[in-house]
């Protein structure tokens, strides 16, 4: 079960690609595996996601929505916050 926010986020990410670059999340595309990298594919992820309990689905969806709310609330104020701090600990 996806919320309106997660659907909107997904659509925005899919539209982020353009004529000069591919969409960030191409549904039927896999990242080429380079030598020495671990093998992870969208297909494997989706099989795993489909097999977890509803409680885990709900938790993952809630976390994704929380991240979206945080990211949309940050806006450009993040730059002034980062500029005002001399190191990461101050943030």
In a domain, 45, yes or no: no
How distant, in Å, are the alpha carbons of 10, 23, 32, 42, 50 from that of 56? 19, 28, 29, 18, 10
Q: Are 77 and 18 in contact (CB under 8 A)?
A: no
Number of domains in the chain: 1
62 inside domain: yes
Secondary structure element (H or E) that encloses residue 5, with its range: helix 4-15
Banded model confidence at residue 91, pLDDT cuts 50, 70, 90: low
* Full residue range of the structural domain in which residue 4 is found: 1-25+54-91
- What average pLDDT does this structure show over 68-72? 78
Q: Which residue has the higher pLDDT, 42 or 19?
A: 42
Question: Which range among 15-19, 59-63, 72-76 has the greatest average pLDDT?
Answer: 59-63
The pLDDT tens digits of the residues spanning 28-52 come to 555 566 666 555 556 666 667 677 7
Residue 71 lies in a domain: yes
pLDDT-derived band at 79 (thresholds 50, 70, 90) equals: low
Pick from 74, 75, 66: nearest CA to 6: 66
Residue 53: pLDDT over 70: yes
pTM score of the predicted model: 0.32
């Amino acid at each position: 079960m996806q919320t309106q926010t997660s659907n909107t986020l997904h659509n925005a990410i899919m539209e982020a690609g353009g004529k000069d670059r591919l969409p960030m999340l191409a549904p039927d595309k896999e990242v080429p595996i380079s030598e020495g990298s671990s093998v992870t594919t969208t297909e494997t992820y989706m099989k795993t996601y489909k097999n977890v309990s509803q409680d885990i689905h709900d938790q993952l969806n809630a976390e994704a929505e929380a991240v979206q709310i945080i990211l949309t609330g940050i806006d450009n104020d993040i730059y002034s916050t980062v500029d005002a701090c001399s190191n990461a600990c101050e943030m």
